[in-house]
Amino acid sequence: MPVSAAATPAATDSATDAAVCAPLPVLGRDVLVPLVTGGEVEYAALDIAASAPALQRVWDDVAAYAPYYGSVHRGAGYLSQLSTDLFENSRAEVARFLGCREGDQLVFTRSTTDSLNLLAAVLPAHTRVFVFETEHHASLLPWEQRADIEVTYLDAPRTPQQAVDTLERALAEREPGSASEGFEKSGGGAQRSGNALVCVTGASNVTGELWPVRELAAAAHAHGARIVLDAAQLAPHHPVDLAELDVDWVAFSGHKLYAPFGAGVLAGRADWLQAAEPYLAGGGASRTVARRADGGVDVDWHTTAARHEAGSPNVIGVYAIAAACKALTEAGFESLVAREQQLVERVRAGLAEVPEVTVLSLFGDDAPRVGVLSFVVAGWNSSHFAAALSAEYGIGVRDGLFCAHPLVRTLLGAGSQAPGECGAPEGAPGEQSLNAIRVSFGAGTPDEHVDRFVRAVKELVTDGARWSYRTEDGRCVPDTAAAG
């Protein structure tokens, strides 16, 4: 269906009024979308856990810089020098946002996925990695790419304390490796031979539930292991401070932090980053390259963050992340968190009034969470329900397994071998449909969008869809040939 990118004057006034309720206005808040039942409505972007719209301030900052865009670390010209300063100042801004410690290194990447693949690439050989099956694929899968890395997958915990206890047991039971350069004493805990890494999310991309990061970090360090925090869903909703959380690394994506310009971050301890071969070989990562008498080349690689930032840096994406970090900080996370929790409670209370709706949770209904909730509706395929929300109400949510297949299958009560894929619609006759619906919101979400969502859920469950739908390319879509 076509999308109207510019609202009419009357619609613009309405959109502006709705946006007043959002402390940080986002781009696209005045976009109108057509409804299959006729007319247009302001688009309700409630899929920000996948990609958040750009903050208006981020867009304005990027637009103001765009005429001055130049190569970074590559030239003596004014624009190149200005862009280089902007790039490195952005690094400092993001480091402040993350509470980086003295000696920490902050590397700019393409995304959370890229950041965690970078960390996987620099792990010392024979490192033991411990990861819960509840992780997003970005933090579940990178470790499998290393043949010399052993991965231990931990079962989904049902309470925060069970998560800590499960990790404690797994770390205590690991067989010590041989004493080597990798031997370390971390966090004042007991000495262990060999390296170990724990990977954990800060907030689930499926349930929105907050994980006990500090306690997991303490458990890791007590057993001589390091820990990396996947903050893709945490950073847009809560402060993330490496020193306070006592994690060794943190990874997140700009496109989930209201800065969708193709950049990400890996920040934390520098030693493994400096000791490993560059993630990408090329210009920028090397200080000097010289031919040898035997015809080969000798390379002196950087030991700074540049070692893993080969190629022309994405200065626009980096500056956008820094602008978003600054905007969130200046808005005050305390007030943003309080307001978002009000929205969470409104959604939870509204869904609780619909007996057919089951909200998915690992830790229980009272578990603290960010503005991310997934649910299923009795009698509905989730793809059909999401399609109706979009086509009949102008509400964008997500359906499927959310790139967290093991977790969603556990929550839906399906076995680990059950069929299904991200966005999979109806299963075969007699087969359980493995998909759920996810609604997500945050600092840029107007109150009206959340209220419309709750109202739409109730109406769809009570009255059913007002339009006919069909499957096309594996997705449920409105049947344009239907008369309604």
What DSSP line would sit under 226-279, residue for residue?
EEEEE-TTTTTTS---HHHHT-SEEEEEGGGTT--SS-EEEEE-SHHHHHSPPS
pLDDT at 53 over 60: yes
Give me the pLDDT at residue 13, please: 43
pLDDT greater at residue 202 or residue 191: 202
The C-alpha atoms of residue 458 and residue 350 are separated, in whole angstroms, by 8
Indicate the length of the chain as a whole number.
484
Bridge partners of 268? 105, 249
The share of the chain scoring above pLDDT 70, in percent, equals: 87
pLDDT greater at residue 308 or residue 21: 308
Name the 3-class secondary structure at 377: strand
pLDDT greater at residue 469 or residue 16: 469
Give me the pLDDT at residue 17, please: 46
Model confidence band, residue 481 (pLDDT cutoffs 50, 70, 90): confident
User: Tokens 């350069």 correspond to what residue?
Assistant: 181
pLDDT at 63 over 70: yes
Sheet containing 398-400: order of strands: 357-359, 372-377, 436-440, 398-400
pLDDT at 189 over 70: no
The C-alpha atoms of residue 129 and residue 248 are separated, in whole angstroms, by 14
pLDDT tens, residue by residue, 373-409: 999 999 999 999 999 999 999 999 999 989 999 999 9
The C-alpha atoms of residue 387 and residue 360 are separated, in whole angstroms, by 20
Q: What is the mean pLDDT of residues 236-248?
A: 97
pTM value is 0.88
Model confidence band, residue 283 (pLDDT cutoffs 50, 70, 90): confident
Give me the pLDDT at residue 19, please: 42
DSSP string, 277-301: PPSS-STTTEEEEEE-TTS-EEEEE
Q: What is the mean pLDDT of residues 105-129?
A: 97
The C-alpha atoms of residue 382 and residue 379 are separated, in whole angstroms, by 9
pLDDT at 423 over 90: no
Per the CB < 8 A criterion, the answer to whether 120 and 144 are in contact is no
pLDDT at 93 over 80: yes
The C-alpha atoms of residue 484 and residue 480 are separated, in whole angstroms, by 9
Contacts of residue 365, defined as CB under 8 A and 6 or more positions apart, other chains included, come to 348, 359
Backbone angles phi, psi at 146, to 5 degrees: -105, 115
Contacts of residue 53, defined as CB under 8 A and 6 or more positions apart, other chains included, come to 26, 27, 28, 29, 45, 258, 260, 444
Contacts of residue 92, defined as CB under 8 A and 6 or more positions apart, other chains included, come to none
DSSP 149: -
Q: Is 476 in the active site?
A: no
Contacts of residue 220, defined as CB under 8 A and 6 or more positions apart, other chains included, come to 167, 171, 186, 187, 196, 198, 226, 227
Give me the pLDDT at residue 190, please: 38
Model confidence band, residue 465 (pLDDT cutoffs 50, 70, 90): very high
* Strands in 302-365 per DSSP E: 357-359
Give me the pLDDT at residue 21, please: 64
Task: Report which of 59, 61, 64, 26 is spatially closest to residue 45, judged by C-alpha positions.
Answer: 26
Which stretches of 73-212 are DSSP H helices?
78-98, 112-122, 137-140, 160-173
The C-alpha atoms of residue 69 and residue 83 are separated, in whole angstroms, by 6
Q: What is the dihedral of CA 159, 120, 253, 313, to 10 degrees?
A: 170
Calculate the CA 483 to chain-centre distance. 40
pLDDT at 246 over 90: yes
Give me the pLDDT at residue 194, please: 83
Give me the pLDDT at residue 482, please: 64
Give me the pLDDT at residue 4, please: 32
Give me the pLDDT at residue 419, please: 42
Give me the pLDDT at residue 191, please: 39
pLDDT greater at residue 288 or residue 204: 204
Give me the pLDDT at residue 433, please: 61
Per the CB < 8 A criterion, the answer to whether 123 and 195 are in contact is yes
pLDDT at 326 over 60: yes
Give me the pLDDT at residue 414, please: 63
Bridge partners of 369? 209
Inter-axis angle of helices 78-98 and 315-331, nearest 10: 40
pLDDT greater at residue 345 or residue 22: 345
The Cβ of residue 354 has, within 10 Å, a number of other Cβ atoms equal to 17
The C-alpha atoms of residue 434 and residue 417 are separated, in whole angstroms, by 12
Per the CB < 8 A criterion, the answer to whether 238 and 208 are in contact is no
Burial 208-246 (b: 16+ CB within 10 A, else e): bbbbbbebbbbbbbbbbbbbbbbbbbbbbbbbbebeebb
Give CA separation, 69 vs 59, 65, 73, 86, 448, in Å.
15, 7, 13, 10, 38
The C-alpha atoms of residue 477 and residue 412 are separated, in whole angstroms, by 24
Give me the pLDDT at residue 420, please: 39
pLDDT greater at residue 480 or residue 452: 452
The C-alpha atoms of residue 20 and residue 24 are separated, in whole angstroms, by 9
Catalytic residue among 100, 199, 325, 403: 403
pLDDT tens, residue by residue, 154-180: 999 999 999 999 999 999 998 554 333
